[in-house]
Amino acid sequence: MVTNDATILRIKHDVLYEVAKAAWEGKLEEDKEDIPYRMIPGPQAQFRCCIYKEREIIRQRVRLAMGKCPSERDTANVVQVINAACEECPIASYVVTDNCRKCMGKACQNSCHFGAITIGEQRAHIDPNKCKECGMCANACPYNAIAHLERPCKKACPVDAITYDEYGICVIDEKKCIQCGMCIHSCPFGAIGSKTFIVDVINLIRAGKKVVAMIAPAVEGQFGADITMASWRTALKKVGFADMVEVALGGDMTAAAEAEEWAEAYKEGKKMTTSCCPAFVNMIKQHFPMLLDNMSTTVSPMCGVSRMIKAQDPEAVTVFIGPCIAKKSETMDLNIQGNADYAITLGEIRAMMRAKGVELEPEENTLQNGSVFGKRFGNGGGVTAAVLQCLKEQGENTDINVMKCNGAAECKKALLLLKVGKLPADFVEGMACVGGCVGGPSKHKTEQEAKKARDTLIGQADGREVHENLSQYAMDSFSMHRH
């Protein structure tokens, strides 16, 4: 049956809501097996071949919502394949279309060095078991009769981490996966998802722990110009969070620390990359480990704010909220001391709010933790702008060449150039999502849709310089570096 993004999103959010509701009521363990039957009552299937497959998909989604792998095979990767939902899309990348005239020249067959092409009665045929997907036949065909087909998940992956098993089911190579989440929303069957930590957060709130929310700069404007950071703080306190801090403040902290690194590296003639985007950091660690020495040692804004909160209260539990999937993997990196304990997406926090009957309501834009530069940290080029502002304040040289990478493909290209010593820039700003964090996979609106509201809200900030937002207590209490 036909499905679409709206249907997939509705199912995903309904599962999150059901899990969050049961968790708030303290009945999740006894209720989790009933959720698939409540959501898929039957007797008619709604989206798949039968209600049994639909219920199994819901069951696997419930496990993801509980922070577990969809199947019993447990792995550390945040991004997971929901096996029951994978529809075994065709594996063959090159197929012959009706344009084929079975011409006498046999250009396709002559160009193939692997004997994969035969000429049938009606058209040429490509044997997928022999095809090496080199594309020579498609380039040679004078009628453009050979089409290059690629699974949406595989096409979306910037690091070739997706393959298939012998049954055609999608498999994620966890040694390659950078946890960017681009594959999640590319699959038209909703067969890829990410682990969530909403149950852990709910249980901590219910247990009376001091749980502090940290809202990403990219959230501002996602819900209109009348939903301010003050709106978020009010709503989150109603949910049960002890307080809320803007991660824009962490952007100011990161910019100040990174500016010092940039200035020192520039004087030494050393090229350096940023380190605030976790998917970009994962790309360096897993695909370009020889460049780790070129990566900034400054922690992300999320980690900076978490360290500040924990310096004030070591018992506090910190929870990052934003449109990023890779942040979940960052919180699981045990080598980063004082980092956020959990990261949840906008869809996940909204499910928690819905289950508690809490709505975001318009409120005056009175809460401003970060500077304008910190608030734009989540934009493409925002990190560079903030660091250059800090360098300017410190009296350092700002006439430097920065390559601002907009998306994972550009990040990969920049790292390849740096690896072979051909990078023309002095510094690389790496943002794995197109548009920066505001283009994250779990955004509520597209960057273009949210831009007007976002610019309005940020324009109301007082424009204080970066350093004026950093309390001396915070700067003296902890380091902004990874080690």
Average pLDDT (151-167) is 90
In this prediction, residue 470 carries a pLDDT of 47
Q: Which CATH architecture has domain 94-148?
A: 2-Layer Sandwich (3.30)
Task: Determine how many CB atoms are found less than 10 A away from the CB of residue 186.
Answer: 16
Mean per-residue pLDDT of the chain: 90
In this prediction, residue 461 carries a pLDDT of 66
Average pLDDT (425-437) is 95
In this prediction, residue 463 carries a pLDDT of 54
In this prediction, residue 166 carries a pLDDT of 79
List the single range of 217-226, 410-419, 462-471 with lowest mean pLDDT: 462-471
Q: How do the domains of the chain map onto residue ranges? A: 1-66, 72-89+151-195, 94-148, 199-477
Please tell me if the domain spanning 72-89+151-195 has the same topology as the one spanning 94-148: yes
Closest CA to 253 of 174, 326, 311: 311
Confidence of residue 433 (pLDDT cuts 50, 70, 90): very high
Confidence of residue 464 (pLDDT cuts 50, 70, 90): low
In this prediction, residue 1 carries a pLDDT of 35
Q: Read off the pTM.
A: 0.90
- Tokens 């520039």 found at: 266
Q: Which CATH architecture has domain 72-89+151-195?
A: 2-Layer Sandwich (3.30)
> What b-and-e string marks burial along 81-115, b requiring 16 or more CB atoms within 10 Å of the CB?
bbbbbbeebeeebbbbeeebeeeeeebbbebbeee
Query: Does the pLDDT at position 462 exceed 70?
Result: no
Closest CA to 316 of 326, 324, 301, 305: 305
- Beta-carbon-side half-sphere exposure of residue 149 (alpha carbons within 13 Å): 14
Strand boundaries in 167-304, DSSP class E: 170-172, 192-194, 211-215, 243-246, 272-273
What is the rounded CA–CA span in Å between residue 349 and residue 361? 15
Query: Does the pLDDT at position 474 exceed 60?
Result: no
Collapsing DSSP to helix, strand or coil, 173 comes out as coil
